[in-house]
Amino acid sequence: MDQEKTTSRMTLTVRYAETDGQGVVHHSRYLVWFEEGRSDFLRQRGLHYSDFEKAGFFVVVAKAEVTYKNPARYEDVITIETTLARMRGKFLEFSYRALGPDGCLVATARTAHIVIGPAGKPCALPSEWVDRIL
Return d(Cα 92, Cα 115) in angstroms, integer: 8
Residues serving a catalytic function are 20
What is the phi/psi pair of residue 19, to 5°?
-100, 160
Please choose, from the candidates 95, 87, 134, 93, the residue with its C-alpha nearest in 3D space to the C-alpha of residue 113: 93
Return d(Cα 6, Cα 8) in angstroms, integer: 7
SS3 73: strand
